[in-house]
């Protein structure tokens, strides 16, 4: 009886190890895929963007002269958000009202927190945000009225952001 259990336990251990490593491989594959898609897009559009240590690509279009925000600061920005190779899904410019959020406290997607801290007041630029720093596998939350997700899962996002103002944390 004991001899019959050993092969089953070995098979179960192998299966569990495969599941764990498969998950890690999928994450690594997604990171590589996003980076490749962004690089191809930048090449096709002849956009000179630099890759930040976070995996986000950045093209500066207007230098800022003010200070940079830090975690806990409230920032005011104008932005336009696009899905790569697709459509504009939102813009504060359409509403003519700046968007505000506290940096680093989870009020926005991780890609925004990681992007805005690299900007100075008055700066404007375009960030190419990999899906894992955007809405990830789940996509954007469903709209309360329509039940529709405006951003599908694993979408690479492009944000044109202008940092207008920083209100320091008190």
Pairing between strand 99-102 and 88-91? Answer: unpaired
- Nearest-angstrom CA–CA distance, 145 and 165: 32
Out of 57, 79, 127, 128, the active site residue is 79
Q: How far is CA 89 from CA 86, 109, 129, 149, 164, in A?
A: 9, 15, 15, 10, 21
Active site residue 94: no
Active site residue 79: yes
**CA-based nearest residue to 167, from 98, 66, 76, 37:** 76
- Nearest-angstrom CA–CA distance, 35 and 72: 29
Out of 56, 159, 160, 161, the active site residue is 159
Out of 38, 135, 151, 161, the active site residue is 135
| Run of H or E residues at 107 | none
What's the sign of the alpha-carbon dihedral 128, 134, 94, 86?
positive
Out of 38, 109, 156, 161, the active site residue is 109
Out of 35, 76, 83, 89, the active site residue is 89
Q: So which residues are the catalytic ones?
A: 79, 89-90, 109, 135, 159
């Amino acid at each position: 009886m004991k001899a019959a259990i050993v092969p089953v336990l070995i098979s179960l251990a192998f299966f569990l190890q495969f599941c764990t490593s498969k998950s890690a491989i999928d994450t690594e594959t997604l990171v590589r895929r996003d980076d490749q898609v962004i690089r191809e897009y930048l090449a096709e559009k002849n956009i000179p963007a630099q890759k930040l240590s976070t995996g986000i690509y950045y093209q500066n279009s207007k230098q800022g002269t003010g200070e940079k925000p830090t975690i806990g600061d409230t920032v005011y920005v104008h932005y336009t958000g696009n899905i790569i190779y697709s459509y504009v899904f939102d813009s504060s410019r359409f509403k003519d009202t700046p968007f505000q959020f506290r940096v680093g406290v989870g009020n926005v997607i991780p890609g925004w927190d990681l992007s805005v801290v690299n900007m100075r007041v008055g700066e404007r630029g375009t960030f190419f945000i990999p899906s894992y720093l955007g809405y990830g596998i789940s996509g954007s939350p469903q709209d309360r009225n329509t039940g529709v997700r405006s951003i599908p899962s694993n979408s690479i996002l492009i944000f044109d952001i202008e940092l207008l103002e920083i209100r320091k944390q008190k």
